[in-house]
C-alpha cells in the first residue's frame, strides 16, 4: 500500500523536481525564474496542440516517444520506494531497471535518426557515445551493491538497497563514494550541466535537446514528462542508496524519501549554478573519473572487508 | 612611396585631384610594399564610377592606415570591367574584391574564390561578374560552397533562420564527426542597399540610414557621418569643445554596453548562469545611461554635424557618473565570477585560436584583432578631430593568444579602460561646471559641401575600425559613400577560428566575435 502511494506520488510529482532545479538556478542568478509548476503548464499546453510530423519521417518517429515513456514508467515501477519493495521486484531486476532506461534512450536515438536532420544525427551520436561510457560505471556500481548486499551476491534491487539498514556505520565511506559516482551518472543520464545544458538554444552544442528538435505537441509533452520521471526515478534511487531505510512508520519514511529527492534536485541545481558546462572532449574524462570513484569504493570494500 | 600615396589625417578633406592615379602595376606594388610594415594595414578598397569623360570606367581607391604617422594613405588606379586580382598577394582584400565585383560587375581575374557577398543585382545593368541574366532571380546564399567527399564526412547547414533572436545568416560546416574542417559563412539576407541610398546625399534621411546601418553601433556610425559632413562643409561652424566629451562618453557607453552583453552571452553559452544573468541586467543599465543623454537607449538622434540635438547639464553628468560607479561595482563582481571560474576558463582557453599571422592575413580588426596580438586601435592610431584630445592618453590593449579567452579578456580590460575614461571625462566636465548647450542647427538643414573632394573618417567602434569614405561630385553631393563595418573584415576570422575546432564550440567562438550581419550586408 505504502509502495503504491509512493509510486503514485512519483508519477504525479516528477515534473516538480525540474521546477525545483530551475528555481535554485534562478536564485543563484538573482532572478525570479519560472514557476515551480512551469513544466506542468508546458506539458498541458503541449498536450492541447496538434501533432506535427515531418514528411521525411516514418512510424519510428511516431512510436518512439511512447516506447520511451513506457520504458521509464516500468523502470520506476521496479524501484523499491522509501524502503518498500516493489510488487514487480525479482532477483536480477536491477539489470532490467538500468536497461529499461537504455531502451528508452535507444528509442529516442532511433527517432532522432529517423528525421534525417544533421542536428539530430549529431545529438544521437553524442548520446550513444556518452551512454556507452556510462554503462561501465553503472555496472561497477551494481557490482559494489551486489558485493555488499546482505544475502550474499544478489541482484535484487531491494536487497541491495537495504544495505543501508545493515551497512550504515560499517561501509559508510565506500557507500558515499558510490553515491558520488551515481550522482555523476545521474547528471549525465539526465542531460544536466556539466554534460549537457537543458537551457541552451544552441543546436550545435545540444545532446538530448538536439534529438527532439523535430518533436512537437503531445509527442514533446510525453518526452518532457518521461525525462522528468527518469530524473525523479534516478534521484529516488540515489536517496534509497544513502538513506537508512529503517521503517519507523510509513508516513515519516515516505516524507524522508520525498525530502531526499527534493534535496537531490537542490544539489543538481547548485551544481548547475556554479559550474560551466564541460567541453565535449572532456566528457569521457569526467565519466572515467566517476568510474574510478566507483572502483575505489569496491577496493575499499574488499580491502577493509566491511 | 611618397609619390604613390597622399597622406591625409582622419576626417580631413582632400581634393580628388590630389589623390595619385597610378598605373595598375604601380598601384599593386605600392599596396604590397607599403603593407609589409606592421604599422600599416589596408582599411578599405573600393571602386567608384568615373564620369564618361575619364579614360577608364572606374577608379579603384585604396585606403591604408599608418599608425606610426597617425595618418591615412590614399591612392588610386583606373580600371575597366576586368583587372588582375589582388587577393593572391594581399589576402585581406579578398572580400573587398568580391564586393567590388558584385557592385559593379568588375571581374578581379584570378580571384581564388569569387562569390557574391550580398546577393544583389549589379549597380551597372548589363554588367554582372557571374554573367547572370537580368531575368534570373538572385536569392541570398544560393551559390557554390566548398564541399568535402567521403563516407565519414558530413555537412551541417545552419541558418538562415536562427534559433535565437539575432539576425539571419547561413553557415555551412564541413565536418568529420565532431571536428570542423571548414566553415563557410554566407550572408546577404539583410541587404538594404545602404551605400546606394546615400548616393546624391547628404539628405536629412542620410543620418537616420546610417544610425540603423548596424543598430548596435549607431553612435560610431553617426560620429563618422557627422565628421565627414563637418570636414566637407564649406562654412565651418564653431563648436563648443565640450561636444568632444559628450561624443566620447556616448561612444564609450556604446562600447561598454555591448562588451558587457557579449561577456554575459559567452557565460550563457557555457551554461555559467550567474554572470549571464547579471550581465544581462547590467547591460540595460548602460543602455539607460545612454538614454539619459540621448533620450533613447541606442544613441540615435543625438549627434548632429557641428553639435548635437541635446546638450548635457552638470547634474546630468553627476547623475551618470554616480550611476556608472555603482553599476561598475556590480559589473566587476559579475566578471570576477566568470574569470575566476575554472570550468568556464577551461571552455574559453585554447578554443577558436586565430594566430597573429593568420589574423594579419585576414585583416582582423578591433578587439578580435587585438586579441590575436594586432595592437591597432583607431582611438589612438588615428585621432578623430570630433573627439578632441579625449583619447590623448589611450593605448591599445592587446594579447597574443588569439583564443576565445583572449577575446573575452580584451573586452574585460577594455571595459576597465572605458570606465576610467568616462569617469575622467565626466569629472572634468563637472569640475568645469559649465553645461553643454544643445546645438541643433543642422537638425533640419544641411551645410553646403565642398565639391570633388574626399573625406575618410575612422572611428574605433566597439567591434573595431569603422571606416566611412565620402566622395563628393562637382555639385557637392555624394558620388560615393563607402562604409566598411568592422564585421566585414572579421567574418572570415570567425570561419578561420573554427578550423579543426569542435563543432560544439561554434557558439562560443561566434559570441567571442559577435559580428554584425546588417553591418556587413549594408
pLDDT (tens digit per residue) in A236-294: 988 888 776 555 667 888 888 899 999 999 999 999 988 888 888 889 999 999 999 99
Closest partner residue to A280 among B178, B272, B278, by Cβ?
Answer: B178
Beta carbons within 8 Å of A251's beta carbon, 6+ residues apart: none
Answer whether residue B74 is part of any domain. Answer: yes
- Residue B411 to chain A, least CA–CA distance (Å): 20
Chain B contact set for A199 (CB, 8 A): 271, 273
Chain A contact set for B155 (CB, 8 A): 118
Question: Does the pLDDT of residue B130 top 60, yes or no?
Answer: yes
Look at residue A165 in the predicted model and tell me its pLDDT: 46
| Helix, strand and coil in chain A, % to nearest 5 | 75, 0, 25
Nearest CA in chain B to A196: B271
In terms of domains, do B181 and B92 share one? no
| Per-residue confidence band for B492, with pLDDT thresholds at 50, 70 and 90 | very high
Q: Which of B186, B202, B230 is the last residue of a domain?
A: B186
Question: Does the pLDDT of residue B12 top 60, yes or no?
Answer: yes
- Residue B282 to chain A, least CA–CA distance (Å): 12
Mean pLDDT over residues B36-58, rounded? Answer: 88
Q: Which of B186, B208, B234 is the last residue of a domain?
A: B186
CB contact under 8 A, A202 and B507: yes
**Which residue in A202, A268, A285 has the most chain B C-beta atoms within 10 A of its own C-beta, making it the best mutation to test that interface?**
A202
Closest partner residue to B270 among A122, A126, A277, by Cβ?
Answer: A277
The least confident of A18-32, A97-111, A161-175, B451-465 is: A161-175
Closest partner residue to A273 among B154, B274, B346, by Cβ?
Answer: B274
Nearest CA in chain B to A204: B504
Closest partner residue to B273 among A28, A121, A125, by Cβ?
Answer: A28
Closest partner residue to A118 among B157, B278, B504, by Cβ?
Answer: B157
Polymer length in residues for chain B: 522
Nearest CA in chain A to B159: A203
φ/ψ (deg, to 5) at B435:
-70, 150
CA distance B22 to B40: 19
CB contact under 8 A, B343 and A276: yes
Q: Any bridge partners for residue B42, and if so which? A: B64
Question: Does the pLDDT of residue B20 top 60, yes or no?
Answer: yes
Chain A contact set for B276 (CB, 8 A): 29
What is the rounded (10 degree) CA torsion for A73, A76, A78, A80? -160
- Residue A26 to chain B, least CA–CA distance (Å): 8
Q: How far is CA B332 from CA A15, B263, B273, B336, B512, in A?
A: 37, 12, 16, 6, 19
- Among the listed residues A106, A122, A127, A125, the one whose alpha carbon sits nearest the alpha carbon of residue A60: A106
The continuous run of DSSP H or E covering A68 comes out as: helix A59-78
Nearest CA in chain B to A25: B273
In terms of domains, do B211 and B304 share one? yes
Chain B positions with Cβ closer than 8 Å to A:
154-158, 163-164, 177-178, 267, 269-274, 276-278, 281, 341, 343-344, 346-347, 351, 502-507
CATH classification of the domain holding B49: 3.30.460.80
Closest partner residue to A280 among B154, B163, B504, by Cβ?
Answer: B504
Look at residue A201 in the predicted model and tell me its pLDDT: 78
Q: What is the residue range of B265's domain?
A: 194-521
Chain B contact set for A121 (CB, 8 A): 154
Instruction: Count CA within 13 A, CB hemisphere, residue B338.
Output: 34
Chain B contact set for A119 (CB, 8 A): 156
In terms of domains, do B181 and B216 share one? no
CATH classification of the domain holding B222: 1.10.645.10
In terms of domains, do B203 and B159 share one? no
Domains identified in chain B, total number = 3
Chain A contact set for B344 (CB, 8 A): 276
CA distance B94 to B85: 9
In terms of domains, do B412 and B306 share one? yes
Q: Any bridge partners for residue B73, and if so which? A: B7, B64
Closest partner residue to A29 among B269, B277, B504, by Cβ?
Answer: B277
CB contact under 8 A, B278 and A29: yes
Look at residue A154 in the predicted model and tell me its pLDDT: 52
Q: Any bridge partners for residue B7, and if so which? A: B73
Q: Any bridge partners for residue B63, and if so which? A: B44, B74
Question: Does the pLDDT of residue A163 top 60, yes or no?
Answer: no
- Joined grid coordinates for residue A111: 527517432
If one compares B68 and A245, the residue with the highest pLDDT of the two is B68
Q: Which of B165, B186, B207 is the last residue of a domain?
A: B186
CB contact under 8 A, A119 and B156: yes
Angle ∠(B79,B85,B91) on CA atoms, nearest 5 = 130
Look at residue A151 in the predicted model and tell me its pLDDT: 53
Mean pLDDT over residues B476-486, rounded? Answer: 93
- Among the listed residues A190, A146, A98, A101, the one whose alpha carbon sits nearest the alpha carbon of residue A294: A146
Q: 3-state DSSP call for residue A280?
A: helix
Closest partner residue to B504 among A121, A205, A274, by Cβ?
Answer: A205
Chain B contact set for A202 (CB, 8 A): 163, 269, 507
Chain B contact set for A205 (CB, 8 A): 269, 504, 506-507
CA A15, distance to chain mean position in Å, is 13
In terms of domains, do B244 and B385 share one? yes
- Residue A45 to chain B, least CA–CA distance (Å): 21
Answer whether residue B249 is part of any domain. Answer: yes
* Total CB pairs under 8 A between chain A and B: 87
- Among the listed residues B343, B338, B490, the one whose alpha carbon sits nearest the alpha carbon of residue B408: B338
CB contact under 8 A, B502 and A280: yes
CB contact under 8 A, B273 and A118: no
| Per-residue confidence band for B154, with pLDDT thresholds at 50, 70 and 90 | confident
Q: How many C-beta neighbours within 10 Å does residue A143 have?
A: 16
Answer whether residue B146 is part of any domain. Answer: no
Nearest CA in chain B to A276: B272
Mean pLDDT computed over every residue of chain B: 91
In terms of domains, do B273 and B417 share one? yes
- Residue A23 to chain B, least CA–CA distance (Å): 13
- Residue B337 to chain A, least CA–CA distance (Å): 10
Chain A contact set for B346 (CB, 8 A): 276, 278-279, 282
Question: Does the pLDDT of residue A162 top 80, yes or no?
Answer: no
Model pLDDT for residues A181-223, shown as the tens digit of each residue: 999 999 999 988 888 888 887 778 888 888 888 888 999 999 9
Q: 3-state DSSP call for residue A64?
A: helix
Contact B516, B485 (CB under 8 A): yes
Chain B contact set for A29 (CB, 8 A): 273-274, 276-278
Answer whether residue B455 is part of any domain. Answer: yes
Chain B contact set for A201 (CB, 8 A): 163-164
Chain A positions with Cβ closer than 8 Å to B:
25, 28-31, 118-119, 121-122, 125-126, 193-194, 197, 199-205, 272-282
| Per-residue confidence band for A159, with pLDDT thresholds at 50, 70 and 90 | low
Closest partner residue to B163 among A126, A199, A202, by Cβ?
Answer: A202
| Per-residue confidence band for A31, with pLDDT thresholds at 50, 70 and 90 | confident
Beta carbons within 8 Å of A184's beta carbon, 6+ residues apart: A137, A286, A287, A289, A290, A293
Question: Does the pLDDT of residue B346 top 60, yes or no?
Answer: yes
In terms of domains, do B295 and B441 share one? yes
In terms of domains, do B230 and B171 share one? no
Look at residue A124 in the predicted model and tell me its pLDDT: 92
**Which residue in B174, B352, B504 has the most chain A C-beta atoms within 10 A of its own C-beta, making it the best mutation to test that interface?**
B504
Mean pLDDT computed over every residue of chain A: 86
Question: Does the pLDDT of residue B510 top 50, yes or no?
Answer: yes
Nearest CA in chain A to B347: A279
Q: 3-state DSSP call for residue B187?
A: coil
CB contact under 8 A, A276 and B344: yes
Question: Does the pLDDT of residue A158 top 50, yes or no?
Answer: yes
Contact A144, A174 (CB under 8 A): yes
CB contact under 8 A, A29 and B157: no
Amino acid at each position: 500500500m505504502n509502495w503504491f502511494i509512493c509510486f503514485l506520488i512519483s508519477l504525479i510529482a516528477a515534473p516538480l523536481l525540474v521546477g525545483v532545479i530551475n528555481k535554485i538556478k534562478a536564485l543563484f542568478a538573482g532572478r525570479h525564474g519560472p514557476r515551480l509548476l512551469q513544466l506542468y503548464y508546458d506539458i498541458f499546453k503541449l498536450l492541447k496542440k496538434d501533432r506535427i510530423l515531418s514528411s521525411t519521417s516514418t512510424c519510428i518517429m511516431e512510436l518512439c516517444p511512447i516506447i520511451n515513456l513506457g520504458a521509464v514508467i516500468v523502470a520506476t515501477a521496479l524501484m523499491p520506494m522509501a524502503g518498500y519493495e516493489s510488487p514487480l521486484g525479482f532477483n536480477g531486476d536491477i539489470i532490467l531497471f538500468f536497461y529499461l532506461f537504455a531502451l528508452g534512450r535507444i528509442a529516442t536515438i532511433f527517432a532522432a535518426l529517423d528525421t534525417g536532420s544533421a542536428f539530430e544525427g549529431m545529438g544521437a551520436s553524442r548520446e550513444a557515445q556518452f551512454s556507452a561510457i556510462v554503462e561501465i560505471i553503472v555496472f561497477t556500481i551494481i557490482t559494489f551493491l551486489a558485493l555488499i548486499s546482505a544475502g550474499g551476491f544478489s541482484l535484487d534491487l531491494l536487497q541491495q538497497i537495504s544495505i543501508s539498514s545493515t551497512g550504515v556505520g560499517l561501509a559508510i565511506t565506500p557507500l558515499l563514494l558510490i553515491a558520488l559516482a551515481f550522482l555523476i551518472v545521474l547528471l549525465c543520464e539526465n542531460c544536466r550541466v556539466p554534460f549537457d545544458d537543458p537551457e541552451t538554444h544552441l543546436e550545435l552544442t545540444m545532446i538530448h535537446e538536439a534529438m527532439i528538435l523535430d518533436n512537437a505537441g503531445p509527442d514533446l509533452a510525453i518526452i518532457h514528462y518521461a525525462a522528468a520521471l527518469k530524473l525523479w526515478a534516478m534521484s529516488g534511487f540515489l536517496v534509497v542508496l544513502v538513506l537508512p531505510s529503517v521503517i519507523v512508520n510509513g508516513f515519516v519514511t515516505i516524507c524522508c524519501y520525498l525530502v531526499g529527492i527534493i534535496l537531490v534536485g537542490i544539489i543538481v541545481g547548485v551544481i548547475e549554478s556554479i559550474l560551466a558546462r564541460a567541453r565535449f572532449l572532456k566528457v569521457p574524462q569526467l565519466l572515467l573519473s566517476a568510474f574510478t570513484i566507483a572502483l575505489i569504493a569496491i577496493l575499499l570494500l574488499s580491502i577493509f572487508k566491511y | 612611396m611618397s609619390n604613390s600615396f597622399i597622406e591625409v589625417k582622419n576626417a580631413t578633406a582632400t581634393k580628388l585631384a590630389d589623390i595619385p592615379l597610378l598605373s595598375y602595376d604601380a598601384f599593386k606594388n605600392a599596396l604590397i610594399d607599403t603593407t609589409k610594415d606592421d604599422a600599416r594595414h589596408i582599411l578599405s578598397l573600393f571602386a567608384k564610377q568615373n564620369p564618361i569623360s575619364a579614360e577608364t570606367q572606374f577608379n579603384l581607391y585604396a585606403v591604408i592606415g599608418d599608425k606610426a604617422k597617425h595618418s591615412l594613405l590614399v591612392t588610386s588606379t583606373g580600371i575597366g570591367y576586368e583587372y588582375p586580382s589582388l587577393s593572391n598577394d594581399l589576402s585581406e582584400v579578398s572580400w573587398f574584391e568580391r564586393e567590388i565585383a558584385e557592385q559593379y560587375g568588375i571581374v578581379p581575374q584570378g580571384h581564388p574564390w569569387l562569390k557574391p557577398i550580398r546577393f544583389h543585382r549589379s549597380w551597372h545593368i548589363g554588367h554582372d561578374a557571374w554573367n547572370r541574366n537580368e531575368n534570373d532571380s538572385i536569392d541570398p546564399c544560393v551559390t557554390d560552397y566548398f564541399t568535402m567527399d567521403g563516407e565519414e564526412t558530413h555537412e551541417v547547414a545552419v541558418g538562415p533562420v536562427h534559433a535565437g533572436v539575432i539576425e539571419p545568416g547561413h553557415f555551412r560546416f564541413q565536418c568529420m564527426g565532431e571536428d570542423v574542417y571548414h566553415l563557410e559563412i554566407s550572408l546577404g539576407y539583410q541587404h538594404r542597399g545602404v551605400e546606394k541610398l546615400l548616393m546624391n546625399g547628404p539628405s536629412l534621411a542620410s543620418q537616420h540610414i546610417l544610425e540603423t546601418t548596424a543598430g548596435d553601433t549607431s553612435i560610431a556610425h553617426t560620429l563618422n557621418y557627422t565628421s565627414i559632413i563637418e570636414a566637407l562643409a564649406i562654412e565651418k561652424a564653431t563648436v563648443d569643445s565640450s561636444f568632444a566629451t559628450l561624443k566620447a562618453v556616448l561612444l564609450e557607453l556604446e562600447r561598454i554596453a555591448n562588451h558587457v552583453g557579449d561577456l554575459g552571452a559567452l557565460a550563457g553559452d557555457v551554461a555559467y548562469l550567474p554572470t549571464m544573468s547579471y550581465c544581462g541586467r547590467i547591460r540595460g543599465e548602460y543602455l539607460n545611461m545612454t538614454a539619459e543623454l540621448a533620450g533613447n537607449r541606442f544613441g540615435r538622434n543625438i549627434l548632429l554635424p557641428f553639435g548635437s540635438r541635446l546638450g548635457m547639464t552638470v547634474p546630468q553628468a553627476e547623475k551618470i557618473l554616480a550611476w556608472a560607479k555603482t553599476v561598475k561595482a556590480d559589473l566587476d563582481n559579475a566578471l570576477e565570477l566568470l574569470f575566476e571560474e575554472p570550468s568556464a576558463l577551461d571552455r574559453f582557453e585554447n578554443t577558436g585560436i586565430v594566430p597573429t599571422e593568420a589574423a594579419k592575413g585576414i585583416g582582423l580588426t578591433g578587439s578580435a584583432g587585438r586579441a590575436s596580438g594586432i595592437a591597432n586601435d583607431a582611438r589612438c592610431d588615428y585621432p578623430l578631430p570630433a573627439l578632441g584630445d579625449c583619447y590623448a592618453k589611450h593605448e591599445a590593449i592587446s594579447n597574443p593568444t588569439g583564443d576565445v579567452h583572449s577575446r573575452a579578456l580584451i573586452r574585460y580590460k577594455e571595459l576597465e579602460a572605458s570606465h576610467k575614461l568616462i569617469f575622467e571625462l565626466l569629472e572634468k566636465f563637472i569640475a568645469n561646471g559649465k553645461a553643454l548647450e544643445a546645438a541643433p542647427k543642422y537638425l533640419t538643414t544641411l551645410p553646403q559641401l565642398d565639391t570633388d573632394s574626399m573625406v575618410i573618417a575612422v572611428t574605433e567602434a566597439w567591434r573595431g575600425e569603422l571606416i566611412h569614405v565620402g566622395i563628393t561630385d562637382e555639385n557637392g553631393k555624394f558620388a560615393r559613400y563607402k562604409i566598411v563595418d568592422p564585421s566585414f573584415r572579421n567574418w572570415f576570422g570567425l570561419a578561420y577560428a573554427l578550423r579543426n575546432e569542435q563543432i560544439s564550440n561554434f557558439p562560443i567562438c561566434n559570441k567571442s566575435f559577435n559580428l554584425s550581419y546588417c553591418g556587413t550586408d549594408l
